[in-house]
Chain A
């Protein structure tokens, strides 16, 4: 399998803004190397502030490595990578656009003609059950509906890779599982690569093929696990899978070392 994203010896140094006289630099990522195969669903888990999101932003071309390089389909990422879809914790819908106008936004940027846009948006809006809400503004929609819109407005322009930064973080537990299920159904069979950042181990296991565990800051990749669950998966009953308990325990044991170290202020 051809790796579509490769990170090689990536280091990232951030400088704290705001303090004029004393600029403080800190190391966010150190010595990160990783290869993500085409069509894989890969999750990044790790303690808060370990640089998971930074690595994701690098693949999108929004942040540059201080040293090392990120390659996308063999060429180094320089500048914003418009081949990817990017979904964050906030839904980032434009409040001045209706649901349909938000869904069609990327197609407008890409110069897709109006009638094609209409057809595609109608199809995707139907896929997530939002038909009839076309003319609603974001503030008139529920959190789950807005998240569905942000999902389909990314899928609609058919990016090869979808980067998701804790997309279901702010949702309630029920909506969350329902959306995880919808995401899997939308994704399965498309052959798209997904990179998914989360704090939730159950979510990572339920969705991913592989899980990359980050150490505490400055982030390093501690271990990459193959998820021992076959597809298609039933996210609603993922706990009931015979391989789930042992795998979860192992993942949690490894993660706990990092979290405990952070909490105790060690390291």
Chain B
């Protein structure tokens, strides 16, 4: 035994267990770092390959009239920013989508919470909710334009209705998923009704609510854009439908690219909010060994 201990040189500086801990920690950190870097590099390579292929194939294998090419799209985007006041139009689209999203989400949450409180009421309205949910909601857009006019109100309404049902249905499902035993134990511990909602029911429903809030970000954008397609003289949807009228493929792609970036940014915000609210959830922690 004594020979072995003497043979391990690190033993002179620190106990073997401590050294092992430190080494494993360092190894894991390096591995994490490397994984993250590889993912980023991989993404960049994928994007570059895709764009390069597009650029090269367009005009040779594919008809440039239909697919355009990245360099032309960048030029069209440049022209849009300066000649067609892209940011002026973008501001309307973002306001419509964002306002619609907020109204739809808040209304969905509120109605969900109220309805989920009473089993009897929920049983009565459930088939109607399902029926309304079944309507392709985008088909309501012309109706909303009739009701709310050609301005941004009708687009906000379309965006809101796109968001509302999904958030509402998920909220109800989430609230009904709260384990009965947790509610019972909390009641015995002296929780008031408001305590239960705030500290038990709502957190239990967050996974469902967060999922709905993530799914509905692009939905709100669809609502706003379709509203603009149907009738508008402002907004990115208007720019896109005008480019289509002129058979301006690069302009079309430039409009689509703009929307893609906006939805990505909105999604990023919602995802980080979701990760913060769900930090207690074991599924979200990094458990490499289990994969």
Shortest distance in angstroms between A150's beta carbon and chain B's nearest beta carbon?
9
Measured in the bound complex, the distance between the Cα atoms of B190 and A81 in whole Å is 8
- Tell me, yes or no, whether B281 is within 8 Å of chain A by CB: yes
- Tell me, yes or no, whether B286 is within 8 Å of chain A by CB: no
- Tell me, yes or no, whether B195 is within 8 Å of chain A by CB: yes
In the complex, per-residue mask of A61-82: 1 if CB is within 8 Å of any chain B CB, else 0: 1100000000000000000111
Asked whether A108 and B199 contact (CB < 8 A) given A95-B280, A95-B281, the answer is: yes
Measured in the bound complex, the distance between the Cα atoms of B206 and A110 in whole Å is 25
Contacts of B199 in A (CB 8 A): 94, 105, 108
Asked if A82 contacts B185 (CB within 8 A), the reply is: no
Asked if B185 contacts A97 (CB within 8 A), the reply is: no
Contacts of B188 in A (CB 8 A): 60-62, 80-82, 84-86
Measured in the bound complex, the distance between the Cα atoms of B281 and A85 in whole Å is 27
- Tell me, yes or no, whether A122 is within 8 Å of chain B by CB: no
Q: Which of B184, B191, B206, B281 contacts A109 (CB 8 A)?
A: B191
Measured in the bound complex, the distance between the Cα atoms of B191 and A109 in whole Å is 5
Question: Which residues of chain B from 244 to 286 have a CB within 8 Å of any chain A CB?
Answer: 280-282
Asked if A109 contacts B203 (CB within 8 A), the reply is: no
Measured in the bound complex, the distance between the Cα atoms of B181 and A88 in whole Å is 9
Measured in the bound complex, the distance between the Cα atoms of B195 and A97 in whole Å is 14
Asked if B185 contacts A92 (CB within 8 A), the reply is: yes
Asked if B280 contacts A109 (CB within 8 A), the reply is: no
Asked if B189 contacts A105 (CB within 8 A), the reply is: yes
Asked whether A97 and B280 contact (CB < 8 A) given A105-B199, A109-B189, A109-B192, the answer is: yes
Contacts of A105 in B (CB 8 A): 186, 189, 199
Which residue on B lies nearest to A81, using beta carbons?
B188
- Tell me, yes or no, whether A251 is within 8 Å of chain B by CB: no
Question: Which residues of chain B from 178 to 236 have a CB within 8 Å of any chain A CB?
Answer: 181-182, 184-192, 195, 199-200, 203-204, 206
Measured in the bound complex, the distance between the Cα atoms of B192 and A92 in whole Å is 18
Could you list 10 further interchain pairs (A-B, Cβ under 8 angstroms) beyond the known A97-B280, A157-B189? A60-B188, A82-B187, A88-B181, A90-B181, A94-B199, A96-B204, A96-B280, A109-B190, A137-B280, A139-B282
Measured in the bound complex, the distance between the Cα atoms of B187 and A84 in whole Å is 11
Number of interface residues of B (CB under 8 A): 20
Shortest distance in angstroms between A59's beta carbon and chain B's nearest beta carbon?
10
Contacts of B190 in A (CB 8 A): 82, 106, 109-110, 157
Asked if A96 contacts B282 (CB within 8 A), the reply is: no
Shortest distance in angstroms between B275's beta carbon and chain A's nearest beta carbon?
13
Shortest distance in angstroms between A161's beta carbon and chain B's nearest beta carbon?
11
Contacts of A80 in B (CB 8 A): 187-188
Which residue on A lies nearest to B187, using beta carbons?
A80
Can you identify 5 A-B contacts, CB atoms within 8 angstroms? A82-B187, A82-B189, A82-B190, A92-B181, A139-B280
Asked if A62 contacts B184 (CB within 8 A), the reply is: yes
Shortest distance in angstroms between B254's beta carbon and chain A's nearest beta carbon?
44
Asked if B181 contacts A94 (CB within 8 A), the reply is: no
Q: Which of B182, B191, B282 contacts A92 (CB 8 A)?
A: B182
In the complex, per-residue mask of A202-226: 1 if CB is within 8 Å of any chain B CB, else 0: 0000000000000000000000000
Measured in the bound complex, the distance between the Cα atoms of B182 and A86 in whole Å is 11
Measured in the bound complex, the distance between the Cα atoms of B158 and A145 in whole Å is 51
Which residue on A lies nearest to B189, using beta carbons?
A106
